């Protein structure tokens, strides 16, 4: 659909391609879902830059090319059931909903979760469930998951998330200090978990029982 941001959106997709995102389903989903609709009005002019954008509550919407990398590395399939930790503004949630069967997303800040739910409802995206809570303990009710995306950086890989990964399932999670992390790919092979580093990154802190301790967690 044509809108005033169409040119900027196409340009962003070009930048994502230059930065290594080649999965056409992923690129198409970033075209279908309009990032500006998830970004607060005052920040909307930055919506199509390949950069994190403040969304309030000291949180940021993640960098699009990094989100695209997550989805490409996880090799998502239309049959997949996916867990997202850190709904934030809900943009990534909406993109994921185009690529997989069901998205379960956990967000610790109620107001962000409520806003994300509203946006998704406006867009009539109906294959997403959102829970307000601590995503470091996962969402056991719907486990196991074919893929888990953690959108905040923690000191270690939370054990419950490993346990909620399906056989052959993959998880991407930033692990390191509060200010600098390595994006780790964790793959379940039976009772074993293979880990490898994908890239360096900087995410907001993962707060919670198996994350950093912090206000409200
Ligand atoms: N994908 C989101 C990323 C938002 S930033 C987007 O692009 O908008 C990371 C989010 O993780 C923040 O909203 C933060 O509140 C949330 N978060 C941090 N620790 C969490 C936890 N333990 N459980 C659930 N959400 C958490």
- State pLDDT tens for residues 141-169: 999 999 999 999 999 999 999 999 999 99
Contacts for 14 with CB less than 8 Å, ≥ 6 apart: none
* pLDDT value at residue 217: 40
117 assigned to some structural domain = yes
Terminal C-alpha separation, the chain? 41
* pLDDT value at residue 171: 98
Across the range 104-132, mean pLDDT stands at 98
CA of 61 to the centre of ligand 1 (A): 9
Active site residues: 62
User: Taking phi first (over 0 means left), then psi (-120 to 50 degrees means alpha), and beta for anything else, what does residue 58 get?
Assistant: left
CA of 90 to the centre of ligand 1 (A): 10
Atom in ligand 1 nearest the alpha carbon of residue 38: 8
Provide the pLDDT confidence category of residue 185 given band limits of 50, 70 and 90. very high
CATH number where 183 lies: 3.40.50.150
Q: What is the pTM of this model?
A: 0.97
Give the C-alpha separation, 160 to 101, whole Å: 22
Computed over every residue of the chain, the mean pLDDT equals 96
The protein residue whose alpha carbon is closest to atom 6 in ligand 1 is: 61
Pocket test for ligand 1, best of 51, 52, 59, 71 (most atoms within 8 A of CB): 59
Q: In the chain, how many domains are there?
A: 1
* pLDDT value at residue 2: 73
217 assigned to some structural domain = no
pLDDT for residue 113 is more than 50: yes
214 assigned to some structural domain = no
Q: Which domain holds residue 140?
A: 7-201
Asked whether 89 and 68 are in contact (CB, 8 A), the reply is no
Measuring from each residue's beta carbon to the nearest atom of ligand 1, which residues come in under 6 Å? 55, 59-62, 85-86, 88-89, 91-92, 106-109, 112, 134-136, 151-152, 204, 206-208, 211
129 assigned to some structural domain = yes
* pLDDT value at residue 214: 79
Q: How many residues does the chain have?
A: 217
Contacts for 18 with CB less than 8 Å, ≥ 6 apart: none
Asked whether 37 and 119 are in contact (CB, 8 A), the reply is yes
CA of 133 to the centre of ligand 1 (A): 11
Pocket test for ligand 1, best of 69, 88, 149 (most atoms within 8 A of CB): 88
CA of 107 to the centre of ligand 1 (A): 6
- What would the pLDDT profile of 42-95 be if each residue is shown by its tens digit? 999 999 999 999 999 999 999 999 999 999 999 999 999 999 999 999 999 999
Across the range 164-176, mean pLDDT stands at 98
pLDDT for residue 215 is more than 90: no
pLDDT for residue 216 is more than 60: no
């Amino acid at each position: 659909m044509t809108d005033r941001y169409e040119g900027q959106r196409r340009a962003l997709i070009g930048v994502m391609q230059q930065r290594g995102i080649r999965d056409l389903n992923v690129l198409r989903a970033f075209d279908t879902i309009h990032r500006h609709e998830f970004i607060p009005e005052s920040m909307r002019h930055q919506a199509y830059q390949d950069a994190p954008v403040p969304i309030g509550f000291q949180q940021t919407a993640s960098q699009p090319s990094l989100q695209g990398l997550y989805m490409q590395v996880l090799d998502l399939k239309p049959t997949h059931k996916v867990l997202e930790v850190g709904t934030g503004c809900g943009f990534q949630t909406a993109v994921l909903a185009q690529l997989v069967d069901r998205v379960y997303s956990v967000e610790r800040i109620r107001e962000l979760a409520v806003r994300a739910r509203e946006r998704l409802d406006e867009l009539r995206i109906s294959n997403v469930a959102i829970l307000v809570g601590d995503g470091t303990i996962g969402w056991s009710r719907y486990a196991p998951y074919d893929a888990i995306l953690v959108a905040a950086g923690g000191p270690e890989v939370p054990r419950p998330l490993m346990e909620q990964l399906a056989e052959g399932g993959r998880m991407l999670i930033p692990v390191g200090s509060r200010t600098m992390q390595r994006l780790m790919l964790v793959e379940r092979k039976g009772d074993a978990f293979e880990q490898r580093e994908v890239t360096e990154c900087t995410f907001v802190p993962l707060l919670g029982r198996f994350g950093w301790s912090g206000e409200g967690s």
